Copies of this chain bind each other. A is one copy, B any other.
Amino acid sequence: MTTANDAQISSVPPAQMAAWRAFLEAHAHTTELLARELKDSQGIALTWYDVLVQLHEADDHRLRMQELAERVLLSKSGLTRLIDRMERHRLVTRSACPSDRRGTFAELTPEGIAMLRRAAPTHLRGVREHFAELLDDDEATILADLLGRITRAASDATTTDRCDE
């Protein structure tokens, strides 16, 4: 396509490629470790914990399904089943949205709050031990900045590529 096919193949500079691989490895290993620690200590999956946190941070401890799906980085249907399972375990409940009858709220139950309180120390200890303690404040700030830049670019690409791709 261009003068050299090889130029295209080697088009990611070595330092950036190393960073990319380090990024993938770090994510896989840390999340696997955190997921296992949480499962072993409380018997719940990381996705469940994430739902509990998001709901806890929301007004009235509840969110619309769509909004929650975006926050926990899951598809709508994926969230529907996840909330099904958590509802069976009494950690959340569904309730109708009065102002829009299409809408459904997922809301934290007292049991859900209790579970969050039990799980949080385990999870936060894990994040601290396997991530936070390895970074000083400056490094953490730099990291958040770099990764925020990457997220924004990816989000832009996702929203715009309906048109320009």
List residues of A whose CB falls within 8 A of some B CB.
1, 5, 8-9, 11-13, 15-20, 22-33, 40, 73, 117, 120-121, 124-125, 127-132, 134-135, 137, 139-144, 146-151, 153-155, 157-158, 165
Contact = CB atoms under 8 A, between A and B. Distances in A.
Question: Copies of this chain, how many?
Answer: 2
A64 to B, nearest CB: 20
A148 B22 contact: yes
Contacts of A17: 127, 132
A115 to B, nearest CB: 14
Given A12-B128, A120-B9, A155-B29, A19 B150 contact: no
A125 to B, nearest CB: 7
A11 B131 contact: no
B26 A151 contact: yes
16 contacts: A12-B124, A18-B140, A19-B131, A19-B147, A22-B151, A24-B27, A24-B31, A24-B73, A26-B147, A26-B148, A26-B151, A27-B27, A28-B73, A29-B151, A30-B154, A139-B142
